[in-house]
């Protein structure tokens, strides 16, 4: 299977001619002026002599790509326009109108939910509205990135959106003033039961720590005595935010993480303050998409026996990366150090410099092996990669963080559930929802509690849902015997055997359309195997908590 890095984005090359840099360059970077002159001469020669015209900027970008590909798998370019979006995600806010939206294939932006207290909510925009134009320019059939670009802008500026709403014959225009829109890192927090709190961290940005403290305080105010911390699909982010959150769960003077590099000083991060949650039971959920900063959190809590880790082996990205600006506003994101957990484990998966494709293929193979037979995989790990926690438990290195309890991943689920959780059946739901949206909103939109308690798919609705799926651009069909090689062809037995899970999943999708993620999250958790199995492991987590008291 072939993989491509998402964040390798070309930027303009800065040609550093030796004559311009002089002795000061040699003082900081060593005597590499001859190499730079060679690069400059090659660039000029190609530009002047090649048989066809050469676009200099593209040639420069390709040159930088070539240099970075010879390094580790994660050093990359970020061009000026892409860096703006990256910076927004780390800052935790941007100027915009405050809506979550999705764009079905060939359709226009559909509002999933307005952001609380944002300009759109205050102006009366609601879930289900279609945005068909921005400032009198149609956005029907326009891609998500372009719609975002048109809706975003400096705080205080004006924008008009044209809305089509079910039940209203003509589109109408809504004037909006852009405001500062938060990009929340804590995407869900609620009480699972009388004593169990749940917090999901989607990334580590500048705002993550204060968001975490707010969620923690609110849940403790509701009686939380134990915490389920969800780091699945967390792509990482700012190291300092991860360290601050771990500090709330570790006693003072305990190591959190260390960094070791060549051109930057080595650092050791230590818990310093009295935390809000230093002795209570904690379970941390992780998977193969828990990356970098989320692995620092998981690794530190596991090394100190502060939390029970449940799920799948994490990604294994333990490289410290710093961003260095270039004159045109683009950046080089370069690895400057490596992360180590308190026990000495290197988080980074081994790699050969220059072999990015092989790195990701080997990583996928390792994740699959760990899922298929965790015990056999653990036995195959050499003694040199076995480490010990504060209280003597054996834990494993070799890249990524190995959970204490493995839960099988998607690859081992029934085929129809893999398609369901992978989003392949969403088209069936989307078309059915479009055909029934007005009735569903009229019946349920103001009755969230009744919906959660009473809604079930009638036989007619259930049959209509699959009829919609069969007529979609991504058709789902059912046969009596073994299916053909068609990707979305299943047997009726597969459907019937997994009917309850599929019904709950579609109910969760429906609740998200009607009420937003806050109401839908517990419904998704009802069919989340990792979530459900983790609730059975509190006795073990409580034993670990006693070690911290």
Q: In this model, does residue 185 exceed pLDDT 60?
A: yes
Phi/psi-derived region of residue 398, left when phi > 0, alpha when psi is between -120 and 50, beta in every other case: left
Six token digits for residue 483:
């299916």
Pairwise CA distance, residues 536 & 94, whole Å: 40
Residue 420 has what pLDDT? 84
Sheet strands (E) in 276-428: 282-286, 308-311, 319-325, 331-340, 386-388, 394-396, 405-406
Residue 487 has what pLDDT? 72
Residue 10 has what pLDDT? 32
303 catalytic residue (yes or no): yes
Six token digits for residue 30:
């060593």
Residue 8 has what pLDDT? 30
Q: In this model, does residue 366 exceed pLDDT 80?
A: no
- Identify the active-site residue in 292, 294, 511, 534: 292
Mean pLDDT for all residues in the chain:
85
Pairwise CA distance, residues 30 & 33, whole Å: 8
Residue 89 has what pLDDT? 67
3 state DSSP class of 200? strand
Q: Do residues 202 and 187 lie in contact, with contact meaning Cβ atoms separated by under 8 Å?
A: yes
What tens digit of pLDDT does each residue of 506-524 get? 999 999 888 888 899 999 9
The helix or strand, by DSSP H or E, that contains position 101, with its residue range, turns out to be strand 99-102
CA 69 to chain CA centroid, nearest Å: 24
Residue 4 has what pLDDT? 36
Q: In this model, does residue 529 exceed pLDDT 70?
A: yes
Q: How many CB atoms lie within 10 A of CB 265?
A: 8
- Identify the active-site residue in 72, 179, 230, 303: 303
Query: What average pLDDT does this structure show over 430-445?
Result: 88
Question: Which range, 91-105, 118-132, 364-378, is most confident?
Answer: 118-132
With cut-offs at 50, 70 and 90, classify the pLDDT of residue 105. Answer: low
Residue 23 has what pLDDT? 44
Residue 545 has what pLDDT? 95
Nearest Cα residue to 212 out of 234, 194, 193, 195: 234
Nearest Cα residue to 228 out of 279, 285, 289, 294: 285
Pairwise CA distance, residues 115 & 125, whole Å: 10
Residue 241 has what pLDDT? 96
Q: Do residues 119 and 140 lie in contact, with contact meaning Cβ atoms separated by under 8 Å?
A: no
What tens digit of pLDDT does each residue of 455-494 get? 999 999 998 888 877 776 667 878 787 766 667 788 888 8
Q: In this model, does residue 325 exceed pLDDT 70?
A: yes
Six token digits for residue 389:
């926690």
**C-alpha separations of 285 from 21, 275, 396, 519 in Å:** 51, 21, 17, 21
- Identify the active-site residue in 152, 317, 363, 507: 317
Pairwise CA distance, residues 94 & 97, whole Å: 10
Nearest Cα residue to 306 out of 231, 377, 373, 226: 226
Residue 546 has what pLDDT? 94
The helix or strand, by DSSP H or E, that contains position 1, with its residue range, turns out to be none
Residue 389 has what pLDDT? 96
Pairwise CA distance, residues 331 & 76, whole Å: 9
Nearest Cα residue to 348 out of 72, 58, 116, 44: 72
Q: How many CB atoms lie within 10 A of CB 396?
A: 18
Residue 503 has what pLDDT? 94
Q: Do residues 420 and 502 lie in contact, with contact meaning Cβ atoms separated by under 8 Å?
A: yes
Helix, strand, coil fractions of the chain, as percent rounded to 5: 40, 20, 40
Nearest Cα residue to 412 out of 523, 312, 286: 312
Six token digits for residue 496:
């019937």
With cut-offs at 50, 70 and 90, classify the pLDDT of residue 29. Answer: low
Query: Do the bridges between strand 394-396 and strand 386-388 make them parallel or antiparallel, or are there none, so unpaired?
Result: antiparallel
Q: In this model, does residue 85 exceed pLDDT 70?
A: yes
pTM: 0.83
Nearest Cα residue to 113 out of 103, 123, 101, 124: 101
Sheet holding 308-311, edge to edge: 186-191, 196-201, 226-230, 282-286, 308-311, 405-406
**C-alpha separations of 513 from 104, 202, 290, 385, 402 in Å:** 13, 21, 27, 47, 36
Q: Do residues 488 and 495 lie in contact, with contact meaning Cβ atoms separated by under 8 Å?
A: no
CA atoms within 13 A on the CB side of 388: 3
Question: Which range, 15-19, 34-38, 153-157, 469-473, is most confident?
Answer: 153-157
Nearest Cα residue to 151 out of 97, 224, 105, 115: 97
Name 175's Cβ contacts closer than 8 Å, sequence gap at least 6.
123, 158, 159, 160
Three-class SS string for 364-403? Answer: HHHHHHHHHCHHHHHHHCCHHHEEECCCCCEEECCCCCCC
Task: Tell me which of 117 and 371 has the higher pLDDT.
Answer: 117
Sheet strands (E) in 249-343: 255-261, 267-270, 282-286, 308-311, 319-325, 331-340
With cut-offs at 50, 70 and 90, classify the pLDDT of residue 20. Answer: very low
Q: Which of 194-198, 338-342, 490-494 has the lowest mean pLDDT?
A: 490-494
Q: Do residues 152 and 159 lie in contact, with contact meaning Cβ atoms separated by under 8 Å?
A: no
Which domains, and CATH codes, for the chain?
A: 18-69 (no CATH), 93-182 (2.30.42.10), 186-326+337-411 (3.90.226.10), 415-532 (no CATH)
Pairwise CA distance, residues 82 & 87, whole Å: 9
Q: Do residues 92 and 214 lie in contact, with contact meaning Cβ atoms separated by under 8 Å?
A: no
Q: Do residues 179 and 155 lie in contact, with contact meaning Cβ atoms separated by under 8 Å?
A: yes
Q: Do residues 255 and 269 lie in contact, with contact meaning Cβ atoms separated by under 8 Å?
A: yes
With cut-offs at 50, 70 and 90, classify the pLDDT of residue 444. Answer: very high
528 catalytic residue (yes or no): no
């Amino acid at each position: 299977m072939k993989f491509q890095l998402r964040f390798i984005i070309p930027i303009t090359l800065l040609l550093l001619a030796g004559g311009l840099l002089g002795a000061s360059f040699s003082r900081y970077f060593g005597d590499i002026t001859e190499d730079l002159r060679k690069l400059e001469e090659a660039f000029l020669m190609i530009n002047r002599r090649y048989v066809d015209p050469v676009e200099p900027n593209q040639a420069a970008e390709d040159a930088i790509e070539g240099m970075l590909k010879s390094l580790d798998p994660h050093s990359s370019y970020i061009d000026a326009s892409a860096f703006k979006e990256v910076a927004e995600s780390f800052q935790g806010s941007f100027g915009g109108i405050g809506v979550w939206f999705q764009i079905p294939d060939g359709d226009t932006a559909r509002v999933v939910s307005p952001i609380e207290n944002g300009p759109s909510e205050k102006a009366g925009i609601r879930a289900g509205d279609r945005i068909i134009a921005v400032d009198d320019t149609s956005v029907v059939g326009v891609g998500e990135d372009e719609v975002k670009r048109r809706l975003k802008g400096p705080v205080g500026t004006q924008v008009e959106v044209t809305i089509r709403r079910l039940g209203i014959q003509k589109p109408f225009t809504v004037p909006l003033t852009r405001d500062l829109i938060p990009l929340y890192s804590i995407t869900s927090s609620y009480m699972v039961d009388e004593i169990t709190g749940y917090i999901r961290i989607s990334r580590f940005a500048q705002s993550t720590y204060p968001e975490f403290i707010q969620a923690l305080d609110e849940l403790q105010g509701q009686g939380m005595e134990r915490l389920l911390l969800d780091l699945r699909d967390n792509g990482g982010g700012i190291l300092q935010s991860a360290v601050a959150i771990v500090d709330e769960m570790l006693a003072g003077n305990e190591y959190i993480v260390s960094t070791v590099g060549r051109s930057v000083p080595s650092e050791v991060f230590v818990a310093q303050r009295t935390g809000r949650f230093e002795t209570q039971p904690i379970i941390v959920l992780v998977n193969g998409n828990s990356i970098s900063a989320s692995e620092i959190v998981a690794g530190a809590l596991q090394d100190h026996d502060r939390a029970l880790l449940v799920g799948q082996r994490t990604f294994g990205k333990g490289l410290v990366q710093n961003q260095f600006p270039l004159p045109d506003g683009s950046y080089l994101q370069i690895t400057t150090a490596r992360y180590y957990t308190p026990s000495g484990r290197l988080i980074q998966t081994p790699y050969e410099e220059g072999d990015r494709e092989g790195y990701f293929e080997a990583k996928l193979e390792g994740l699959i092996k760990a899922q298929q037979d965790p015990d056999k995989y653990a036995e195959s790990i050499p003694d040199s990669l076995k480490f010990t926690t504060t209280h003597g438990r054996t834990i494993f290195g070799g890249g990524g963080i190995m959970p204490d309890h493995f839960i099988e991943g998607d690859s081992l689920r029934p085929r129809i559930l893999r398609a369901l959780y992978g989003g392949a059946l969403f088209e069936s739901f989307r078309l059915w929802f479009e055909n029934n949206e007005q009735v569903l909103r009229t019946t349920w939109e103001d009755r969230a509690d009744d919906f959660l308690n009473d809604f079930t798919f009638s036989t007619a609705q259930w049959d209509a849902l699959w009829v919609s799926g069969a007529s979609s651009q991504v058709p789902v069909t059912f046969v009596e015997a073994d299916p053909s090689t068609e990707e979305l062809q299943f047997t009726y037995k597969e459907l019937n055997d997994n009917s309850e899970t599929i019904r709950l999943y579609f109910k969760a999708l429906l609740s998200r359309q009607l009420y937003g993620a806050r109401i839908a999250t517990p419904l998704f958790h009802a069919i989340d195997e990792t979530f459900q199995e983790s609730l059975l492991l509190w006795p073990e987590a409580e034993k670990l908590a006693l070690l911290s008291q």
